[in-house]
Amino acid sequence: MSGLVRNTTGGAHIEIEGPAQAVTQFLEAMERHPPPRARMTSIRVSERPTLGRKGFHIQPSDAGDTRSALIPADIATCTECLADIAEPRNRRYRYPFTNCTACGPRFSIVEDLPYDRGNTTMRDFIMCSACQAEYDDPRDRRFHAQPNACPQCGPRLSYVGGTRAAAKDHEALVRAAELLRAGGILALKGLGGFHLMVDARDEAAVARLRRRKGREAKPLAIMAPNLAAAEELCSLSSAERHFLCSPEAPIVLLHRHPRASIAHAVAPGNPYLGVMLPYTPLHHLLLGQLNFPVVATSGNRSEEPMCFENEVALVALDGIADGFLLHDRPIARPVDDSIVQVVLDEAMVLRRSRGYVPLPIELPLPASRVLGYGGHLKATISFSLGRNAFISQHLGNLESAESLEAYQQTLGDLPRLYGQPPVRGVCDLHPDYASTRKAEAANDRLFKVQHHVAHVLSVMAEHQLTGPVLGVSWDGSGYGPDGTVWGGEFLAVSGTSYSRVAHLRPFSLPGGEAAVREPRRSALGMLFEVFGSQGLTMAGLPPLTSFEEMDLRVLGRALERGVNTPRTTSCGRLFDGLSSLLGLRQTARFEGEAAMNLEFALPEHEVPDAYPFQLEEEGSGLVLNWEPMLRTMLVDIEGSADRRLMAARIHNTMVAMIVAVVCRRPEDTLILSGGCFQNRYLLAHTVKALRDSGRRVFWNQSTPVNDGGISLGQVMAAALGQAESGAVAHGLVAQPDYVDGASLERRRPLTTVATESGGMPCA
């Protein structure tokens, strides 16, 4: 056997010649046992006359014009490299930038294609002769490992902070460990950016980090020294263990042991801990020195993008960090840690970033060069080439000038890497999203997709579905084409059009957006909806007593006059209001906190009870009326019923509502998407109930169920449009055939569902 191989921008090109049987065996072996971390999206084989070559050669990369080779994602340190750095006689003993073809930085160092050292931030590190020899030897596991390096020729560590002189290399690591042991806050430059680290067991140190970073209560992720340490803190299923130890090495949300020795301030009132394991040699070496878990949260001030450059970090994190552990390998672009939770033994990637990005999601239909601009919160961008949809790393909330700048940079990043400018843009319907304004400024050929339709489409993209489907989009909020705030929607998607076939009963949000930070305002709106002004005088209700009398009167008047009180069908706001009524949370310290507290209030054991609700007909659609639930709940509150029991009843009612609508619909393929399905109980019980009804159920697994998935849904809309007509059809954005009517009189009850057990299958 002889031949050659070379990297091209379109993929790997291999020529082999030899006896026919050997060639066949080679092809089989390549497909069945590809090299570790290789991802083959397609193989094309063609025959050629033999050339009588001798030996097997690697040819220099060829920079062609059609760029379609995949850019690899960053990979956690492999066991062999770990062994190298632990062995005192190895020349890479304790070297924090050790890597090989099976592990190391990729996307975070790539500046251009093809993926060769000269096109990465390793360009300026000239390999020493020993590294070069490994790089050139096909039998070496560092053969063509682009970031290959050693203490002689590669990146170096440095430490600055405190009054002592700066330190280098191993001494720098020792100083950083000293700082953490003493309860100090360390800014550490890792793979895709900076982490802020602090001893996760140290209550005062964690509180100090929160104060300085301006992060009040949102849970902080921790890095455990190793798997055994993680198992001491949390209980792990085998699926959770698998993802924790995977080469993607995400943060996995794990059930904490009640007595885990972790400071309360890490994740206050939260039964879960976000845990990751060390994923670079630097992390392994540092955590090995410490042998205790550290908080590892992104290096930024709250709501700003993560720092990834030394100079910027030294300024931006000054006043937060007590010391900086830096290195001189530039990061090409910031890549945050990914977040995964396991529900029904399946992963849900809640934040798809390091380790996953920029590997594509395969669309069921091609969409040529479409740029999806995403939403507003947890923003991402998607770019499609044929059937590959590349979703960007997590870009955070587009609420500061800094985040917008990072967003703007990322818009151009993938099209530039692939050398293919987008020909079409797709954005959200919301006129005030920063992403919408960017899209409008940049595109002549732009179309807009309703937010919750995009949620449904993201699942269709991920699971290669082309419809028809019925999508349940339960979410925080999104702009509805009727000018109200949507978020509790049932959307039938077929071909390139959709219709809103059912939704939650709307209520008014006093103060509009302010309700996101004040769940008690949602409660107010719900009480007003059902009881009118009288609802705001009910004695002893937690949301009412939490207000100053004056404020309550002002909000009451606003509701009566309909001033700045937008109507909403949002499931997220409904959960907020219910959480507030239960007395769990009146003001939220981060988005979704109240709804999360409602989930965390669930009892350990299964409770089958549910509250009653009504399914009503309105125009050509259905309305889920939660009034009977609210009324019964108030009776429970008055009778001081167990809050945990009430939380279970609420959840079961929501499941039963979904089942009730689905039973009236012909679609046998169902989709669950939107931020509310981050709620494990709601998701798991809905899936089970729908499966019991004989339906196929899909939800976001490898793409975010929250607004991180919106950009993918937008690209999917373009794919469906192209398939239908050869051009983009606008049906998915046209006015729905069902528009919400505000009049209560027009509704009439279809059924009253007084379920005793949540999520009964269809009769």
Instruction: Give min distance, CB of 652 to Fe ion, in A.
Output: 24
User: Of 97 and 486, which CB lies nearer to Zn ion in the complex structure?
Assistant: 97
CB of 153 to Zn ion, least distance (A): 3
Shorter beta-carbon distance to Fe ion: residue 475 or 618 = 475
Residues 471-510 that bind Fe ion (CB under 5 A): 475
CB of 403 to Zn ion, least distance (A): 34
DSSP-derived secondary structure for 426-483: EEES-TT-HHHHHHHHH-SSEEEE-HHHHHHHHHHHHTT--S-EEEEEEEEEEE-TTS
Q: How many residues does the chain have?
A: 763
Q: Does 349 bind Zn ion (CB under 5 A)?
A: no
Copy the structure tokens of residue 27: 């092809």
321's enclosing H/E stretch is: none
Q: By C-beta, is 283 or 351 nearer to Fe ion?
A: 351
Q: How far is the CB of 592 from Fe ion (least distance, A)?
A: 11
Site string for Fe ion, 678-707 (x = CB under 5 A): -----------------------------x
Report d(CA 714, CA 227) in Å as an integer: 38
Pairing of strands 621-625, 613-618: antiparallel
**CB closer to Fe ion, 271 vs 512:** 512
Candidate segments 51-59, 81-89, 213-221, 750-758, binder of Zn ion by CB under 5 A: 81-89
What is the DSSP pairing of strand 469-479 with strand 669-673?
parallel
Among 73, 102, 167, 379, binds Zn ion (CB under 5 A): 102
Residue pair 415/422 in contact (Cβ under 8 Å)? The answer is yes
By a kind-dependent CB cut-off of 5 to 8 A, residue 615 interacts, out of Zn ion, Fe ion, none, with none
Distance, CA of 90 to CA of 366 (rounded, Å): 49
* Distance of closest approach, residue 299 Cβ to Zn ion, in angstroms: 25
Q: Least CB distance from residue 430 to Fe ion, whole Å?
A: 10
By C-beta, is 227 or 530 nearer to Zn ion? Answer: 227
Cα separation of 430 and 516, whole Å?
Answer: 17
- Name the DSSP class of 324: E
The single residue among 4, 128, 166, 344 that binds Zn ion, judged by CB under 5 A, is 128
From residue 566, how far is each of 14, 395, 430, 482, 483 by CA, in Å? 61, 28, 14, 12, 9
For residue 312, the minimal CB distance to Fe ion (Å) is 31
Per rule CB under 5 A, is residue 160 in the interface with Zn ion?
no
Binding segment (CB under 5 A) for Zn ion, from list 121-129, 564-572, 705-713, 750-758: 121-129
Report the phi/psi class of residue 140: left, alpha or beta, with left for phi > 0 and alpha for psi in -120 to 50. beta
Among 78, 113, 335, 459, binds Zn ion (CB under 5 A): 78
Contact present, 382 and 365 (Cβ < 8 Å): no
Least distance from C-beta 83 to Zn ion, angstroms? 9
Of 81 and 715, which has the nearer Cβ to Zn ion? 81
Q: How far is CA 443 from CA 421, 422, 426, 437, in A?
A: 12, 9, 9, 10
Distance CA 63, CA 145 (A): 19
Shortest Å, Cβ 104 to Zn ion: 6
The radius of gyration computed from the CA coordinates of the chain, to the nearest angstrom, equals: 27
Q: Does 591 bind Fe ion (CB under 5 A)?
A: no
* Residue 384: CA count within 13 A, CB half-sphere: 31
Note whether 278 and 254 are within 8 A (CB). no
Under the binding rule (CB under 5 A), the answer on residue 103 touching Zn ion is: yes
- For the bound state, the minimum distance from the C-beta of residue 637 to Zn ion, rounded and expressed in Å, comes to 58
For Zn ion, which residue of 75, 122, 150, 449 counts as binding (CB under 5 A)?
A: 150
How far apart are the C-alpha atoms of 181 and 534, rounded to whole Å? 58
From the list Fe ion, Zn ion, none, pick the one residue 697 interacts with, judged by a Cβ distance below 5 to 8 Å according to partner type: none
**To 10 degrees, what angle do helices 593-600 and 571-581 make?**
60
* Residue 150 touches which member of Zn ion, Fe ion, none, C-beta under 5-8 Å by kind: Zn ion
152 counts as binding Zn ion under rule CB under 5 A: yes
| Residues binding Zn ion (CB under 5 A) | 78, 81, 100, 102-103, 128, 131, 150, 152-153
| Residues binding Fe ion (CB under 5 A) | 475, 707
